[in-house]
Structure 1
Amino acid sequence: MRNRFKGKDFLAFKDMDREEIEFITDLSLDFKKKWTIREPHEYLKGQVWAALFEKNSTRTRNAFERAAADLGVKVVYLRPDEMQMTRGEPLKDTARILDRYFDGLFIRTFGHEIVEECAKWMQNPVINGLTALEHPTQGIADLMTIKEKKGHYQGLKICYAGNIYNVAYTTMIFCATLGIDLSIACPEGIEPDEKMIAEAKRRAKLSGAKIEITSDFDKALSGADIVYGMSQYSMGQSEEKITHLKEAFKPYQITMEQLKKAKSDAIFMHCLPAHRGEEVTDEVMECDQSVIFDEGENRMHSIKAILAAVAD
């Protein structure tokens, strides 16, 4: 497939079709092979990218900086508290200035409208490192992991248990696009955004995927090839909201007993960081079915492929 991403933004799975998602995933796996055999790949030597992080990060920041280094890209890390945006400078002014200085922007922020606004005012590519709506670099890493461990996508089933937030929405879209059945286990009254459900259902009609939202955890786990854990709450939420979510999601904790309700060869995934003892037990995190650290490593390879694909 021809690279459709060159010079373009990489903001969300909802903006991509099946071919584009598979292209980036396969490119990520190719970059992982280069990493494994230590084949040099400084394809972007001479480029300088800005990294703007408004949320704390372990995997995303370090994966981006290492991916950039391998590609020969210099990264300038921007702290929001040191920039004029914290004193009221319009985002469109900041974005246009950054566009004059850098070959692209990697941004991890809160509302999805922020990355869309940056993309609107910048000519150079913008990569979404996380917003409240989607986490696309994580989504590609997840698909890499699934393909490595299961060999294919079609006909698989994922049971997702955790906060209905960016990773949940990204998972909904890629499952619906690629023909992966998805059962989201969540308490009544905590359901996904209606627009994202509608988009997932539209794509599922084309792929044959089954997208299910259920409060029945046993039903969600039954027949699952992948059990995907997620924090019960997210960064930036109020203490009141966090307390409510932790209480509501208590029955959905992933234990070894619950994991056994999935297929015997099911794998356990989690985007990390995990709150051990809350959404998942330490025993599950450390068991042979857990692939969380392979998945975490794949963040670096996914970001490298995205950078290489969009760079002009």
Structure 2
Amino acid sequence: MAKRDLISVSDMEDEWPSLVDLAIKLKAERGNHGDPLKGKTLAMIFEKPSTRTRISFDVAITELGGHALYIDESKMQMGVHSETVEDTARVMSRFVHGIMYRAFDYKMMDKFGEFATVPVISGLDNLEHPCQALADMVTIKEKLGGFRGKRLVYLGDGNNVANSLLYACAIMGMDIVICCPAVRMPNAEIMWKASNIAQKNGSKVIVSHEPKDACIDADVLYTDTWVSMGDSTPVEEAIKLFQEYQINDDLLKIAKPTCIVMHCLPAHRGQEITPEVIDGPQSVIFDQAENRLHAQKAVLYTLMKDQ
């Protein structure tokens, strides 16, 4: 079978619903699903440090019977003055059965996927964060029972998380409202593609710059840090730009009483979200974080079982 990658959510558009269901199944069977990836090795390349990505992938491959190999990119012979990305991808493919890459630059991720002959899974780059979006969809299905007729409102910076959520909500047939300052909207091409997918699946992509209007009838309020890793925006400037987009009790009261609150973490309490909300009864943030493990398992099983 030809190898497949998960660099963009759109890479597995047709399989996305089944990945959500598989993650939920594997979560229910934790400790009792055998070792379907016995003898498989996952190389994990980190240009950016991480808590959730490293732990969840490491535990996921281990619990499926495989082995994780952590690689600090700064210790590799890959870069401008060393081995090319193309050659590194070719060589690593001879040693391992899959590669998880957490990168600064989507172009590097895309090139790695092009030349690797084993599956390449994005652990995040500056354009998308597909595994986070999968964990988010798992959480929404668990908490709300499904996606049809539901509305997710994303508030804040139109970053990689927002880009992947656009695709994921559109695929699952869930309305998504992107509420960001005009100068920090998500990727325009992804918004256009997601709108077309949403139309096909009976949902909508809606743009707003007014948080109080956007949050009306929301089933999910979602935010992320205002200054992502690698973003050179000064914190003071970000606070000034995004302050009205903070998820707080006032915005939460505008949403449905059953609305859940999500954040991909790490959170800057008191900036994009208040401590009262993140620790409040409508927050599902730590369940969402746990679901990274189960989402990763679903991806690893699907892409690596036949390698």
TM-score relative to the length of structure 1: 0.94
Q: Percent identity?
A: 38
Q: Which residue of 1 aligns with 2:186?
A: 192
Q: Does 1:22 align with 2:17?
A: yes
State yes or no: 1:120 paired with 2:109: no
Partner of 2:283: 290
SS in 2 for 1:131: coil
Greater Cα shift, 265-274 or 108-117: 108-117
Equivalent position of 1:82 in the other structure: 75
- Following superposition, the deviation at residue 307 of structure 1 comes to 0.3
Partner Cα separation in structure 2 for residue 267 and residue 239 of structure 1 = 29
8 Å contact 1:158–1:182 — kept in the other structure? yes
Q: Do residues 66 (structure 1) and 59 (structure 2) align?
A: yes
Describe the SS at the equivalent of 1:274: coil
Q: Name the Cα RMSD after superposition.
A: 1.4
Residues 59, 296 of structure 1: 8 Å contact kept? yes
Return the offset for 1:261: 0.7
Moved over 4 A (4+): none
Q: Deviations over 1:177-219 (max 9, x none)?
A: 2221111111232222221111011112211212111111011
Letter in 1 for 2:126: A
Is 1:103 the counterpart of 2:97 in the alignment?
A: yes
1:207 equivalent in structure 2: 201
Name whichever of 280-289 and 117-126 sits farther off.
Answer: 117-126
Equivalents in 1 of 2:159, 2:222: separation in Å?
13
Count of residues in Structure 1 that have an aligned counterpart in Structure 2 = 304
Given that 1:253 and 1:280 are in contact with CA atoms closer than 8 Å, whether structure 2 keeps it comes out as yes
Q: Is the 8 A contact 2:227 2:233 kept in 1?
A: no
Code of the residue aligned with 1:9 in structure 2: it is D
Deviations 1:1-50 (A, max 9, x none): xxxx9731111112232x41101111111110111xx3142111111121
Unmatched 5+ residue regions in structure 1?
none
The CA distance in 2 between the partners of 1:158 and 1:118, in whole Å, is 32
CA distance in 2, matches of 1:45, 1:192: 39
Question: What pairs with 1:32-181 in structure 2 (closer than 5 Å)?
Answer: 32-35=27-30, 38-86=31-79, 87-181=81-175
Cα distance in 2 for residues equivalent to 1:279 and 1:264:
21
Any stretches of 5+ residues in structure 2 without a counterpart?
Answer: none
Q: Does the Cα contact within 8 Å between 1:6 and 1:310 map onto a contact in 2?
A: no
